[in-house]
Amino acid sequence: MKVTLISHTPEPELACALAAKTCHAAKMPKGPMTREGMKRMLDIVIGSGHTSVLEHASFTFAVEGVSRSLTHQLVRHRMASFSQQSQRHVRLKDFEYVVPPTVEKSPKTAKAFRETMSLISDAYGQLAEMGVPLEDARYVLPNAATSNIVVTMNARSLHNFFELRSCLRAQWEIRKLANLMLREVQKKAPLLFEWAGPICKARGICMEGVTDCKFYKLYVKKKPS
């Protein structure tokens, strides 16, 4: 898996802070703002849940080498834009695939998994060689087959994505993606994403009710007011 932040709103923290300030100012506020001023404003709106102003900053990621199983989960996040590698137009000769860690743990299961992938690859290639259109030959391809996708989300949607997918209850592959994306945006906009992460970190609550989780013990009721 490779995640690259390929573009973002210029000065995303300033854009969101000025948007927040506009809501309570008699006249349109102008930039620049001090870093302390931006942090104070963003802490207020994020802490109070008035996060619509975060929609003024967007981030675009190139995501490579993830499974179709992951992208099926990813596109369920509706407040986003997606452009994915097409299996209708791209022939996946000797396609790459993702092997879950639980499969890799055992030589027996890993062997069975890889043998199945080899059989599928042969069948896919044979169908294509026999003139079956790629859009129909792809029906034999597995969820494990890798794909590339470009994803654009605004900062508000990213906060929601991180709350759900950074959680230890999320599936391992999309959790890895969420953590890599979070690392990228924190480099560019640390004030916007200071408390971004699983919902226990972001809001000090656990929607899953799993009290023996290490994140629960670390974050629940410990977020500063």
- Looking at the structure, tell me whether residues 71 and 128 fall in a common domain: no
- Looking at the structure, tell me whether residues 156 and 202 fall in a common domain: yes
Among 138, 156, 165, 203, the active-site one is 165
Question: What is the percent of the chain where pLDDT is above 70?
Answer: 98
- Looking at the structure, tell me whether residues 153 and 198 fall in a common domain: yes
- Give catalytic status of residue 35 as yes or no: no
Structural domain range at position 124: 100-140
- Looking at the structure, tell me whether residues 126 and 177 fall in a common domain: no
| pLDDT attached to residue 218 | 82
Domain presence at residue 91? no
CATH of the domain at 72: 3.30.1360.170
Domain presence at residue 160? yes
Q: What is the pLDDT of residues 54-94, one digit of tens each?
A: 999 999 999 999 999 999 999 999 999 999 999 999 999 88
Instruction: Go through the chain and tell me how many residues it has.
Output: 225
Measured distance CA(138)–CA(132) in Å, rounded = 10
- Looking at the structure, tell me whether residues 119 and 18 fall in a common domain: no
| pLDDT attached to residue 222 | 56
Give the predicted TM-score (pTM) of the model: 0.92
Q: Are 205 and 218 in contact (CB under 8 A)?
A: no
Nearest partner of 119 among 103, 95, 147, judged by Cα: 95
Q: Taking CA 54 as the corner, what is the angle to CA 53 and CA 57, rounded to the nearest 5 degrees?
A: 115
What are the Cα distances from residue 61, in Å, to 114, 164, 181, 188?
30, 18, 8, 13
Other CB atoms closer than 10 Å to residue 43's CB: what's the count?
14
Residue-averaged pLDDT of the chain: 93
- Looking at the structure, tell me whether residues 47 and 120 fall in a common domain: no
